[in-house]
Amino acid sequence: MSLRIDGKKISSDIKEELKEQVKQLKEEGVSVCLAVIQVGNDPASSVYVNNKKKACAYIGIESQAYELPEETTQEELLALIDRLNKDDHVNGILVQLPVPAHMDEKEIIQAISPAKDVDGFHPQSVGALSTGEPGFVSCTPAGIIQLLKRSGISIDGKDCVVVGRSNIVGKPMAMLLLRENGTVTICHSHTKNLKEVCQRADILVAAIGKPKFFDESYVKDGAVVIDVGIHRNAENKLCGDVDYDKVADKVSAITPVPGGVGPMTIAMLMNNCVEAALRMNNR
């Protein structure tokens, strides 16, 4: 029997811990505040933003919502970010991505102060992750490390294969596994013999965005499989990059979709907000 890694339970444990920490900080006169900016009204983005607001409310983090019209200019958005950067009451700033096509996403990410970069996307945060300096880490990979640790899975010395090299998942995932003393291989669409490389993995992280791509032939007996992908099929059911039913019996532990990696992302965002408030208050 393989362990079904319960991301719902682990994320809920983290939220409870944060709720307690935020309550204590409030008693000491320290508040936590996240500013969430959404440009346009893409329905998927609205769902994500609402979930973030709900999580803030549950934990006791103040959330400020900035819902800007689709036609907002780059300059207007940069001016808002600048104002929030200078506002001592605001600890974290998040711009919901993607922004409309007329905007420059890179410039927007770089405009957020690294001290408030709770998404961990700023180049300074990314640099800090590779040099081991303090900085915010992208929430999904940070959540995966928590899933592994809180499930009692050791990373030290393990062969870790990350499939996908995006800036928000694959690359920071690889850096975090390296920081935990894993032996890390990063694969992507140009990787030769992908299957053979995956078969060597003690820990396989699948983050390519292709529904049920990884079947049992990609995993070795007893491996740990982390499925980052989220897809909705024709019957409106969610599935991941891994074919769970074919893989589950062969591995020692696996994350389901839904209920695995997904719930961890918001929990780690909340964690980063509390961390930002602690740092701003020299704690």
Q: What is the DSSP letter of 61?
A: -
Q: How far is the CB of 207 from ligand NDP (least distance, A)?
A: 4
The pair of structure tokens assigned to 2 is 């393989």
Q: Which residues bind ligand NDP (CB under 6 A)?
A: 140, 163-166, 168-170, 187-191, 194, 207-210, 228-230, 261-262, 265
| Residue closer to ligand NDP (CB basis): 100 or 209 | 209
The pair of structure tokens assigned to 225 is 């499989």
Q: How far apart are CA 29 and CA 234, in angstroms?
A: 50
Q: How far is the CB of 79 from ligand NDP (least distance, A)?
A: 29
166 is in an annotated binding site: yes
- Catalytic residue flag (residue 119): yes
List, in sequence order, every beta strand (DSSP E) within 170-262: 183-187, 203-206, 224-227, 231-232, 238-239, 253-254
| Residue closer to ligand NDP (CB basis): 223 or 267 | 267
Residue 108 — φ and ψ, nearest 5°? Answer: -65, -45
Count the Cβ atoms, other than its own, within 10 Å of residue 88.
7
Q: Which residue of the set 6, 15, 38, 52 is catalytic?
A: 52
- Catalytic residue flag (residue 249): no
Q: What is the DSSP letter of 249?
A: G
Q: How far is the CB of 138 from ligand NDP (least distance, A)?
A: 9
Q: How far is the CB of 28 from ligand NDP (least distance, A)?
A: 32
Q: Map tokens 């770089």 to a residue.
A: 110
| Residue closer to ligand NDP (CB basis): 77 or 169 | 169
Q: Which residue of the set 119, 202, 227, 241 is catalytic?
A: 119
Residues in the chain, how many?
Answer: 283
Beta bridge partners of 35: 64, 93
| Residue closer to ligand NDP (CB basis): 26 or 210 | 210
179 is in an annotated binding site: no
- Cα 79-68-272 angle, rounded to 5 deg: 75
The pair of structure tokens assigned to 83 is 């104002």
127 is in an annotated binding site: no
Q: Which residue is nearest to ligand NDP (CB)?
A: 166
| Residue closer to ligand NDP (CB basis): 12 or 281 | 12
List % helix, strand, coil for the chain (3-state, nearest 5): 45, 15, 40
Q: How far apart are CA 271 and CA 265, in angstroms?
A: 10
Q: Which residue of the set 15, 38, 96, 212 is catalytic?
A: 96
Q: How far is the CB of 125 from ligand NDP (least distance, A)?
A: 16
Which residues participate in catalysis according to the annotation? Answer: 52, 96, 119
| Bind-site residues for NADP(+) | 164-166, 230
